[in-house]
């Protein structure tokens, strides 16, 4: 009698009227087992990000400008110009450039799903959630350093020996791939969260702004 899994020799055990076998080569006992499963999320990434955003709001109660507080309207809502007309107003700064919108929660959630995070099942999910919390922290605080992120990482949760190990292997590169995140330049240590569509001025544009116009 051969093992149905590997073809090796089987050892048969009999007790009373019952019998069972075990393969001496691969250890199979003829019982189908499942050693892993996909974890089921009970919370969407949008919901998780909102939870993390709320967790990392500044202690003094500062909230993002686009979040309405009880009895308080966001800046600019309800304001009128000298003519009392709010329609068609150009929300621009002194330079006349329209401020680009921040990446939406849906955009960030999709980017989180696309990240390549090492691990399987529950371990991979916990690591991805930790990256999401790092992202939410940076979005709420606008700027942060490596030491700030390390305080958030819980090594036992992400199955790493240390927060530094997770940051170097997963956190740093994954965070840098998310929308609105600007990693520090060489020689610097500060991460920043900026509007995704904001682009720095080119040298030619800067010269054009500073060059005096000829008299007409």
Q: What is the pLDDT of residues 177-210, one digit of tens each?
A: 999 999 999 989 999 998 754 444 455 554 555 5
Same structural domain for residues 5 and 48? no
Q: pTM for this one?
A: 0.56
Total domains present in the chain: 2
Sign of CA dihedral 65, 47, 104, 127: positive
Which structural domain, as residue segments, surrounds residue 49? 44-58+101-198
Ranges 54-58, 117-121, 212-216, most confident: 117-121
Tell the residue number behind the tokens 């939870």, with chain if given: 51
Same structural domain for residues 15 and 122? no
Bigger pLDDT: 104 or 42?
A: 104
| β-bridge mates for residue 193, sequence order | 181
Share of the chain above pLDDT 90, in %: 38
Same structural domain for residues 105 and 25? no
Share of the chain above pLDDT 70, in %: 59
Same structural domain for residues 114 and 7? no
CB 9 within 8 A of CB 3: yes
51 in any annotated domain:
yes
Ranges 57-61, 88-92, 139-143, most confident: 139-143
36 in any annotated domain:
no
pLDDT of residue 216: 44
Q: Is residue 110 very low, low, confident or very high in pLDDT (cuts 50, 70, 90)? A: very high
85 in any annotated domain:
no
Same structural domain for residues 17 and 120? no
78 in any annotated domain:
no
96 in any annotated domain:
no
140 in any annotated domain:
yes
81 in any annotated domain:
no
Do the bridges between strand 10-15 and strand 190-193 make them parallel or antiparallel, or are there none, so unpaired? unpaired
Bigger pLDDT: 129 or 30?
A: 129
Bigger pLDDT: 102 or 18?
A: 18
Q: According to DSSP H, which parts of the chain are helical?
A: 45-55, 105-114, 121-141, 146-152, 155-158, 163-166, 172-176, 203-210
Same structural domain for residues 106 and 191? yes
Same structural domain for residues 113 and 16? no
169 in any annotated domain:
yes
Distance CA 181, CA 139 (A): 8
pLDDT of residue 141: 93
Q: Over the chain, what is the mean pLDDT?
A: 74
Q: Does the pLDDT at position 19 exceed 50?
A: yes
| pLDDT tens, residue by residue, 47-74 | 888 888 888 875 554 444 444 444 444 4
pLDDT of residue 203: 54
Same structural domain for residues 25 and 108? no
Distance CA 16, CA 64 (A): 74
pLDDT of residue 191: 97
pLDDT of residue 36: 53
- What residues contact 109, with CB distance under 8 A and at least 6 apart? 44, 45, 46, 49
């Amino acid at each position: 009698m051969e093992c149905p899994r590997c073809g090796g020799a089987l050892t048969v055990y009999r007790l009373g009227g019952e019998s069972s076998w075990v393969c001496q080569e691969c250890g199979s006992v003829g019982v189908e087992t499942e050693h892993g499963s996909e974890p089921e999320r009970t919370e969407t990434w949008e919901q998780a990000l909102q939870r993390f955003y709320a967790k990392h709001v500044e202690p003094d109660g500062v909230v993002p400008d686009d979040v309405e507080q009880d009895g308080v309207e966001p800046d600019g809502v309800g304001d009128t110009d000298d003519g009392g007309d709010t329609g068609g107003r150009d929300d621009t700064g002194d330079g006349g450039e329209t401020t680009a919108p921040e990446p939406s929660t849906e955009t960030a959630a999709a980017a989180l799903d696309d990240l390549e995070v090492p691990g399987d099942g529950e371990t991979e999910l916990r690591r991805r959630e930790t990256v999401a919390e790092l992202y939410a922290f940076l979005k709420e605080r606008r700027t942060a350093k490596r030491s700030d992120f390390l305080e958030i990482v819980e090594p036992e949760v992400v199955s790493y020996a240390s927060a530094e190990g997770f940051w170097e292997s997963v956190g740093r590169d994954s965070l840098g791939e998310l929308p609105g995140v600007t990693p520090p330049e060489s020689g610097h240590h500060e991460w920043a969260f900026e509007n995704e569509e904001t682009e720095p001025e080119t040298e030619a544009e800067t010269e054009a702004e500073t060059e005096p116009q000829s008299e007409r």
